[in-house]
Amino acid sequence: MSFKFSDRKYWIMGIINVTTDSFYDTSRKIDLKEVLEFAEKMVDEGADILDVGAESSRPGSSPVPEETEIDRLKDIIPELVKRFSVPISVDTYKPKVAECVLDGGAAIINDITGLKKYPETASIVAKFNAGMALMHMQGTPQTMQETPHYKDLISEIGLFLKESANKAVQAGVSPDKIALDPGIGFGKTIEHNFQIIRELDTFQTLNYPIALGVSRKAFIGKILDLPVEERLEGSLAAAVVGLQKGARIFRVHDVKETVRAISVAGNILKL
């Protein structure tokens, strides 16, 4: 599928986890039938992109072998592409997985390492004329929440994202198919997360659309003292502030509610 992030004013990206250990169990779908039913619900509710992941990146999670990721995705991605008209994104940073899913019709690779782990993934994306979401993460999912520390949080994230985008462009990825994500909760304290959202507009100087993933995350639970199942309202509040501060791509578990909140906020802000 041919697409550009500039095709829409903003994008709602629905999360589907083909895993057994992602932090929000409602997003976990294992077999093909479950995935297709969940995807149909999300598309009906207004999802503009479906983002499928086969390896959990929650704090403390361990990586899975490439072969496991491929086995989980190889049949699902072609079926999603065949059945739905929205772009299919795959949350992976591994070159062999990226090649498999792009060959199956996926339109976007969502790399949580921002090409730091495997820079060669960008060349594979370019070969398929696909898009990339490039995220900042300090450390790895296993270690990222142990002692997050920055000398200058916003500048360090901005520099990392700029370098990630440059790697992608140099590899041949079209600039209008690139989005940048500051990585809420990925090697950040609660205060870091607050600061990133408050100063999100700073990243607009990078001249790429900004993606934001706040849905049901731990910092919302800490503010409200609520479990993951009860963080919807907090997630919507953070997303709306993100929109006001310049975010244009929202990676979410709750599509219908986010579409409604962002639509109202977008009209008020005249976006």
pTM for this entry: 0.92
Catalytic member of 217, 231, 245, 248: 217
- Of residues 25 and 260, more confidence is placed in 260
Give the number of other CB atoms < 10 A from CB of residue 22: 21
Q: Is 26 exposed, middle or buried (0-12, 13-18, 19+ CB in 10 A)?
A: middle
pLDDT tens for 55-108 read 877 665 567 888 999 999 999 999 999 999 999 999 999 999 999 999 999 999
Of the listed ranges 15-24, 165-174, 199-208, 256-265, the one predicted with least confidence: 15-24
54 CB contacts (<8 Å, ≥6 apart)? Answer: 17, 18, 19, 64, 68, 69, 72, 73, 90, 91, 92, 97
- Choosing from 29, 177, 248, 251, the catalytic residue is 251
The domains found in the chain, sorted by start residue, are 7-268 (3.20.20.20)
CA-based max dimension of the chain = 47
Tens of pLDDT along 115-134? 999 999 999 999 999 999 99
User: What are 31-64's pLDDT values in tens digits?
Assistant: 888 899 999 999 999 999 999 998 877 665 567 8
- Report how far residue 235's alpha carbon sits from residue 152's, in angstroms, rounded to the nearest whole number: 26
On whether the CB atoms of residues 70 and 100 are closer than 8 A, the answer is yes
Whether 72 is a known active-site residue: answer no
> For this structure, is 231 an active site residue?
no
